[in-house]
Amino acid sequence: MRPTISTVARHAGVAVSTVSRYLNGHYVSRPVKARLSKVIGRLGYSRSWTARNLSLGRKGCVGLVVDSNQSPWFTQLLIGIEKELATRESSLMLSTGYSGRSDSGIALEWIQGHRIDGLIIVKYGARERSLLAQALRSKIPTVLLAPREAAPNQRVVRSDNYHAGVTIANHLADLGHKKIAFEGGVAHLDLKDRLRGLTAGLARRDIRLNPKLVSFCGKFEPQAGMEFANRFFKKAPAVTAMVLGNDSLALGFMRVAHHRGIRIPQDLSVTGFDDIPESGLVWPGLTTVAQPMREMGRLACRKLFDLSPAATHEAIECPMRLVVRESTGPVLPRPR
């Protein structure tokens, strides 16, 4: 028969409450701790998480809703989420859409069936409004992670995208760039804040961002960056720096630039946002602003388990850090 906590207590000569304290990380004297460790190993005892969660009134599962799990950005978030859940003895249920749209129906079943202790919605937007409303009606703790649109009076974890834009503006201005273009991918909240920050930062340095050199291509994947680059180089605007809305777009853009013989950064400096792992592996390495994606994932989990009243209406903006690599350089005189 599978050993129980009572079996462990009997073999170790201690009370069941002592075993419980040991298993939950509370104080137990060093000799008793050593004895319990030895007995648990010998008996092959493992905890019944189902019974434990039932005793705590929990399901032991957290729901995660995202439009796509294919991006390196999301992979980093997921690592942070899983690491935090591992410390809380909870597992993860994932709802994703391979077509780029989240399947809210699955998450609604979780809520209506009382199968989850909390819900994290990544890139919350118009499609997820009804899902959020249902979660709130069911009193399911919910965190919005990097939402596409503003969500007042909700638990929100996102990056400080405005100051990330200012940081890129200062970096390019310090290198002497004045003719700068911006391609934002999708015009949602984060990208609008990045553009606002870039525009404001350049204005403080007496540099005007030409509205004709600002665009949104509607996607974030490298392929979209490549398609934009082909259109961009056909028009051949006289710019010295290109700011892409995220690293994936920037990497696709750089591939086309190399194919066309554009030297980076001698002919054109290129920057991105996020600092996905691939950005430091290509050559030239991509200058970007690092988003603390793993920490954001961990923070989102912590907020689910934060029962303080203030946490239900808390918005956290994580700082972003400039990572300078080889894709940016000073403006060089153009050959005649």
What is the mean predicted confidence (pLDDT) over 157-182? 96
Reduced to 3 states (helix: H, G, I; strand: E, B; else coil), residue 321 is strand
Phi then psi for residue 63, to 5 deg, are: -90, 140
**Cβ pair 73, 276 in contact under 8 A:** yes
Confidence of residue 305 (pLDDT cuts 50, 70, 90): confident
Residue 100: per-residue pLDDT: 47
* pLDDT at residue 314 tops 90: no
CA distances from 31 to 155, 192, 336 (A): 44, 59, 82
Instruction: Provide the token pair at 56.
Output: 């705590």
> Is the pLDDT reported for residue 179 higher than 90?
yes
CA torsion, ordered 162, 164, 170, 171, to nearest 10 deg: -160
Quote the CA–CA distance of 288 and 281 in Å, as a whole number: 13
User: Beta 321-323 vs 288-290: how paired, if at all?
Assistant: antiparallel
Query: What are the structural domains of the chain?
Result: 5-47 (1.10.260.40), 59-159+293-319 (3.40.50.2300), 161-291 (3.40.50.2300)
Q: How confident is the model at residue 235 (pLDDT cuts 50, 70, 90)?
A: confident
So what's the pLDDT on residue 310?
64
pLDDT at residue 292 in the model: 95
Q: Is there a contact between 57 and 15 (Cβ–Cβ < 8 Å)?
A: no
> Mean pLDDT over residues 179-203, rounded?
94
Give the relative orientation of helices 5-12 and 16-23 as an angle to the nearest 10 degrees: 110
pLDDT reported for residue 17: 87
Average pLDDT over residues 257-273: 95
Query: What pLDDT score was predicted for residue 294?
Result: 94
